[in-house]
Amino acid sequence: MFLCCWLGLVALIPTTLSTNPGVKVRLTEKGIEYGRQLGMAVIQQKLRSIKIPDFSGTETVSPIGKVQYSLSNMHIVNVGLPKSSVDLVPGTGVTLSIGDAFISLNGNWRVKYLRIIKDSGSFDLNVNGLSIATTISIKSDETGRPAVSTASCSATVGSAKVKFHGGASWLYNLFTTFIDKALRNALQKQICPLVADAVSDLNPQLKTLNVLAKVDKYAEIEYSMVSSPTVLKSSIDLSLKGEFYNIGKHQEPPFSPAAFYLPPQNNNMLYIGMSAFTVNSAAFVYNNAGVLSLSVTDDMIPKSSPIRLNTKTFGAFIPQIAKQFPGLMMKLLMKMEKIPTLTFEPNNATVQATTTVTAFAIQTNSTLSPLFVLNLEASVSARMFVSEMKLAAAVTLNKMDLTLAKSYVGDFQVGPLENVFQGVLKWVVIPTVNAQLAKGYPLPSIGKMKLMNTQLDVLKDYMLIGTDVQFS
């Protein structure tokens, strides 16, 4: 009883402890088909490298007696892999089946009999109806990158035909009976190891998954897999951590990823689902790095704007300022009060930011005299897009809400200042943020991967990037 409960508990632990991934990647049948095409080219190349060692022997052929023979200089002339398919085996891996394959090779033969008679020539061997079946398993390696290995392989050769050039016809019979068989065996023995080679040649490629992608001097994104890849009926799904960290300092934010499920789409080869968690972990990281503050000075405001950052402009709304600090320039210090949060609703990505704005008058001796502190709540819409292998974004202001937190110049109404701050946001803050967001954030990628036919949709709690890929 105890043992049974214990085992039951142990079985539960992995699911209880496992954290939800921040990013999910799905390789669809279309993507797997592209992988098959790339893979077959590699296997074909491998099979072309088959080397059959020279061999020689002695056979007794009546009525001549002992015939010494040797085969040499054998090399592959052609390998054809006209039929192949990849099937997913849910929970296990991938089966690659190759059928109707053929290999042709060419070599030289030499015989010696009755002590003095020598003869030689060349031959062609055509092996047809070759079939290869191999099961490939996909796991996560110790660095959280995918790794493949050959779980099983079998190769069978259908028929072989040897054609000799030169020599006496009785010799042909000698060769076709047993030499043909020896050659077939020699070939067959080499196929599976070469296929296994081709499979493990994938690993150096898979090792290039950017499990820790550097963003800038403050942040990096962790894209390691949090569990082994899941092989489903028509896709292979990867669960990646998808979390921003301060470089070298991996502190967890006070929130965690919510579960999300990729929709059953299959028009593209690859789907990348990125949760709001991933984006919000970026906000946490940049806030920790202390870079989510901005000081705004008059030179940052376009020359064409009638609103200037000086006590004259502000004095029009707050007369005390014009009176106490006449003819001075001003400075605004904007600071995040809370980590900004992004919410994904279908076709709607909204960021909510709570900041404080401290306004100063700049004295002629450069001393800053505080005038007032405002709470500024802003809601911005984000539009995300993929550029190269990066995710970039641009935001626009939805709405803004101002309240007075503290005044150093006596009471005043904030309402009339709305237009001034709308202007500051539109002309200074949002362009600054957008310049940053346009630099982009690396997406998970492998090798020299290029994205094509890419689109991005915002869904509930995550965004979905659908794309085809091309490896050069």
Q: Which residues bind ligand NAG (CB under 6 A)?
A: 343, 345, 348, 350, 363, 365, 367
Q: Judged by CB, which is closer to ligand NAG: 158, or 370?
A: 370
Q: Judged by CB, which is closer to ligand NAG: 350, or 436?
A: 350
Q: Judged by CB, which is closer to ligand NAG: 343, or 436?
A: 343
Structure tokens at 131: 């079939």
Question: β-strands 212-214, 219-222: how paired?
Answer: antiparallel
**What value does the CA radius of gyration of the chain take, rounded to a whole number of Å?**
35
- 3-state class (DSSP) for residue 143: coil
Helix (H) or strand (E) holding 36: helix 29-48
Q: Judged by CB, which is closer to ligand NAG: 367, or 403?
A: 367
Q: Judged by CB, which is closer to ligand NAG: 367, or 413?
A: 367
Shortest gap between Cβ of 365 and ligand NAG (angstroms)? 4
Q: Judged by CB, which is closer to ligand NAG: 238, or 330?
A: 330
Structure tokens at 83: 């039929």
Shortest gap between Cβ of 345 and ligand NAG (angstroms)? 5
Q: Would you call the peptide bond into 63 cis, given omega within 30 degrees of 0 as the criterion?
A: yes
DSSP 229-283: -EE-SSEEEEEE--EEEETTB----S--PPP----S--SSSEEEEEEHHHHHHHH
Q: Judged by CB, which is closer to ligand NAG: 120, or 363?
A: 363
Sign of CA dihedral 20, 25, 30, 36: negative
Shortest gap between Cβ of 140 and ligand NAG (angstroms)? 34
Shortest gap between Cβ of 379 and ligand NAG (angstroms)? 7
Place of tokens 């669960």: 239
Shortest gap between Cβ of 350 and ligand NAG (angstroms)? 4
Measured distance between the N- and C-terminal CA atoms of the chain, rounded to whole angstroms? 58
C-beta separation of 339 from 288 below 8 A: no
Shortest gap between Cβ of 291 and ligand NAG (angstroms)? 25
DSSP 363-411: -TTS-EEEEEEEEEEEEEEEEEEEETTEEEEEEEEEEEEEEEEEESS--
C-beta separation of 147 from 154 below 8 A: no
Shortest gap between Cβ of 458 and ligand NAG (angstroms)? 10
Shortest gap between Cβ of 321 and ligand NAG (angstroms)? 15
Shortest gap between Cβ of 26 and ligand NAG (angstroms)? 26
DSSP state of 446: -
Shortest gap between Cβ of 427 and ligand NAG (angstroms)? 24
Over the range 345-370, which residues count as b (16 or more CB within 10 Å of their CB) and which as e? eeeebbbebebbbbbbbbeeeeeeee
Structure tokens at 55: 């061999």
Q: Judged by CB, which is closer to ligand NAG: 173, or 365?
A: 365
Closest CA to 152 of 173, 132, 176: 132
Q: Judged by CB, which is closer to ligand NAG: 323, or 448?
A: 323
State the Cα–Cα distance between residues 340 and 287, nearest whole angstrom. 9
Q: Judged by CB, which is closer to ligand NAG: 85, or 348?
A: 348
400 DSSP β-pair partners: 378
